[in-house]
Amino acid sequence: MHSHTTELVAAATTLIAKGTDTGVKIRMDAPWMGFMRTIAGQIIGTGAILTVVFIVIAAIVWGGAKAFGAGHAQNIGVMGVIIGIIVCVLLGSAASMVMYFTGFNLFA
């Protein structure tokens, strides 16, 4: 079993190393592409808004815990703010990541 897997991986690696063109091209003329772009934009926008609300709530928890001396709640608030910022960065760069890794231009 492992020899078959090894052969398959070796064959795939050889094809990639040679730069073989498989002939598969991205097509942007499908009738649903406009709709899918709209839905994807709405999902990313909604996610960004909800993440900002999450950051505000986490900051309130952090500030309240700081005011009342609750150490564990301070840690939770700080982690919430950090996680929220990371999620916002990922959501904001989602289209750029798709274009970078696949060559699929979402803005065209």
| d(C-alpha 102, C-alpha 94), whole Å | 12
Per-residue pLDDT at 33 exceeds 70: yes
Position 17 scores a pLDDT of: 63
Residue pLDDT, tens place only, 41-98: 888 889 889 999 999 999 999 999 999 988 899 999 999 999 999 999 988 888 788 7
| d(C-alpha 41, C-alpha 90), whole Å | 14
Position 98 scores a pLDDT of: 77
Q: What is the pTM of this model?
A: 0.65
Cβ contacts of 39-42, under 8 Å, gap ≥ 24: 40/106
Helix ranges (H only) for the chain are 2-18, 33-68, 71-92, 94-102
Position 18 scores a pLDDT of: 65
